[in-house]
Amino acid sequence: MTAQDQVPDEPIEEIPLEVEGDRPSRRSTTTAPKRQSTTTTSADEGEGYSPPDLGETDDEHDDGRRWYVVHCYSGYENKVRYAIEQRTETMGMEDRIFEVIVPTEEQMEIKDGKRKVVERRVFPGYILVQMIMDEDSWYVVRNTPGVTGFVGMGNKPTPLRPEEVSQIMKRMEAEAPVVKVTYKQGQKVRIIDGPFNDVVGIVEEIDMDRTKVRVMVNFFGRETPVELDFLQVEKQ
């Protein structure tokens, strides 16, 4: 996913959450996830509302609601989500903007020799909004502090396809945490568990489906392949 609006190099000190009251509003909705070959649009560049191509309908609803991807400042996803929710309520758009989410997933990583489960953002710098897109709902979301644009083709926000939404939701709802792999093929790693504990080897193959890694170790003067779990090795 690409974006025409660039995130500033220096961190933003604060994003105000004040609600703009200079535009009468109807009820509106939220935004949704990313899709390929899209760009973000910017109000600073003279962006105006352009009706989206709705494509396929949501199986659960036939009122025109879709999921859209909104680009925002990286690191401020939760603040922007809260701001959109507050603006939706204050400006009376609950029947147009329905849900705002920051896609996250749990990752298992090893730090200081200990396993730790952490929550990571799936798409840093992006949030998803489910909404019925019209000029008023677009205005509420697009002019929320911290939002830099909708993801879409040209000036048209592009809704996600149902299968794209389903894939993202399944990823968020996965019961087992994703194992974070910090090494790659050809790199040196140290085995930290099992009979080869503290032995250094070279990564020969990584099997993401089975969460296994094959490491070549020197065993009695001969290079020997050893298959291990991702969490049994760490980057050297």
Question: What pTM was computed for the model?
Answer: 0.59
Cβ count near 101 (within 10 Å) = 19
Quick one: pLDDT at residue 162?
92
pLDDT digits (tens, 9 = 90+) for 116-174: 777 888 899 999 999 999 999 999 999 999 999 999 887 789 999 999 998 888 878 77
For residue 83, which of 28, 16, 32, 151 has the smallest C-alpha distance? 16
Quick one: pLDDT at residue 115?
72
Question: Which residues touch 116 (CB under 8 Å, ≥6 apart)?
Answer: 108, 109, 110
Quick one: pLDDT at residue 158?
92
8 Å CB contact between 28 and 133: no
Is the pLDDT at 55 greater than 80? The verdict is no
- Residue 223: phi and psi, rounded to 5, are -75, 120
Three-class SS state of 152? strand
Is the pLDDT at 18 greater than 60? The verdict is no
Buried b (16+ CB within 10 A) or exposed e, 155-171: bbbbbbebebbeebeee
CA angle, residues 69, 71, 72, in degrees to nearest 5 = 135
- pLDDT-derived band at 47, boundaries 50, 70, 90: low
Q: Which of 6-10, 49-53, 155-159, 198-202 has the lowest mean pLDDT?
A: 6-10
Quick one: pLDDT at residue 88?
96
CA angle, residues 94, 81, 39, in degrees to nearest 5 = 100
pLDDT digits (tens, 9 = 90+) for 62-110: 788 999 999 999 899 999 999 999 999 999 999 999 999 999 888 777 6
Quick one: pLDDT at residue 210?
79
Domains of the chain and any CATH numbers: 39-173 (3.30.70.940), 181-235 (2.30.30.30)
Give the integer Cα–Cα distance in Å for 147 and 128. Answer: 12
8 Å CB contact between 171 and 122: yes
pLDDT: which is higher, 181 or 141: 141
- Strands 178-179, 104-111: pairing kind: parallel
Give the integer Cα–Cα distance in Å for 230 and 234. Answer: 8
Q: Which of 97-111, 127-141, 180-194, 218-232 has the highest mean pLDDT?
A: 127-141
pLDDT: which is higher, 3 or 79: 79
Q: Please give the single-letter amino acid code of residue 227.
A: E
